[in-house]
Amino acid sequence: MAVSLSESAAKEVKKIIADQSLPEETVLRVGVQGGGCSGFSYSLTFDKETSERDRVVDFFGVKLAVDKKFDPYLDGTVVDFYDGLEKRGFVFNNPNVVKSCGCGSSFQV
């Protein structure tokens, strides 16, 4: 799997799914879209369906779906959840990034 989910990220995803009363078959979809000051940005959404193009793997009870076309951009990426004083949210630890913007929301591979 090109992308993995940390245990802390999985706990937060489970909490969000429960808080929003999302269906049991909900998957966390990770992707890449064009845009941002460095060329690409990450997408993180909930989905009810997967397709044959998706890689779907369970991490700590959360199903993670990634379209195979994103493998070159996301190979080895770990989605984590950071909860600190200065910020709180999901972070992408992507070993393929050669440049990212100052705000950290876009990247270049």
Q: What's the predicted TM-score (pTM) here?
A: 0.85
Tens digits of per-residue pLDDT, 50-99? 999 999 999 999 999 999 999 998 999 999 999 988 889 999 988 887 66
Six token digits for residue 78? 């770990």
The count of other CB atoms within 10 Å of the CB of residue 98 is 8
Six token digits for residue 89? 């949210």
Tens digits of per-residue pLDDT, 32-49? 888 766 678 889 999 999
In Å, the largest CA–CA distance within the chain is: 41
User: pLDDT band at 4, cuts 50/70/90?
Assistant: very high
Six token digits for residue 90? 């999901």
Q: Which residue has the tokens 């990034």?
A: 97
Share of the chain above pLDDT 70, in %: 85
**How much is the pLDDT for 52?**
96
Q: How far apart are CA 59 and CA 40, in angstroms?
A: 25
| CA-angle at 103, arms to 59 and 11, nearest 5° | 20
Q: How far apart are CA 94 and CA 43, in angstroms?
A: 13
**How much is the pLDDT for 33?**
87
For 3-108, CATH number out of 1.10.1060.10, 2.60.300.12, 1.10.3720.10, 1.10.300.10 equals 2.60.300.12
Element (H, E) at 88: strand 88-93
